[in-house]
């Protein structure tokens, strides 16, 4: 080995630990239905699930692309894309609470973690 430093990346899965996914989904359903109506809103979520199965991960940009090809003249598409892609993480984070471990070390943990 040469002793050269190699960058390391840590990836964290925050699914329903740091983010309240139920609230995210509920807020998005309401926003999408308000923008494109309940019928097209339901179709958005069908496309979302199809793509999630195909790719094995959530891919909103690809979902939006497929939605726009399904409804090419949807006038609400710019607002839909904005609502889906601009989900504000600070607003959907789980509340923090003080935590004291048995050694007396104080820290914070995410509620629900």
The pTM assigned to this predicted structure is 0.66
Cβ atoms of 13 and 58 closer than 8 Å:
no
CATH number of 21-90: 1.10.286
Question: What is the sign, positive or negative, of the torsion defined by CA atoms of 29, 32, 38, 41?
Answer: negative
Give the pLDDT band of residue 103 (cuts 50, 70, 90): low
Per domain, the residue ranges of the chain are: 21-90
User: Which DSSP symbol is given to 18?
Assistant: T
Residue whose token pair is 């710019």: 78
Number of H helices, E strands in the chain: 5, 2
CA distance 71 to 63: 12
Residue whose token pair is 């199809």: 50
97 phi/psi in degrees, rounded to 5: -140, 150
Give bridge partners of residue 107 from the DSSP assignment. 99
For the stretch 11-54, pLDDT in tens is 565 555 666 778 888 989 999 999 999 999 999 999 999 999 99
3-class DSSP state of 36: helix
Q: What is the mean pLDDT of residues 73-86?
A: 95
């Amino acid at each position: 080995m040469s002793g050269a430093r190699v960058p390391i990346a840590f990836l964290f899965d925050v699914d329903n630990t740091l983010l309240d996914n139920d609230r995210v989904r509920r807020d998005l359903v309401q926003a999408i239905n308000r923008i494109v109506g309940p019928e097209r809103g339901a179709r958005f979520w069908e496309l979302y699930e199809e793509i999630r199965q195909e790719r094995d991960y959530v891919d909103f940009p690809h979902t939006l692309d497929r939605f726009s090809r399904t409804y090419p003249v949807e006038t609400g598409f710019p607002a839909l894309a904005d609502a889906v892609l601009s989900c504000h993480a600070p607003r959907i984070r789980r509340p923090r609470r003080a935590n004291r471990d048995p050694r007396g070390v104080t820290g914070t943990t995410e509620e629900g973690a």
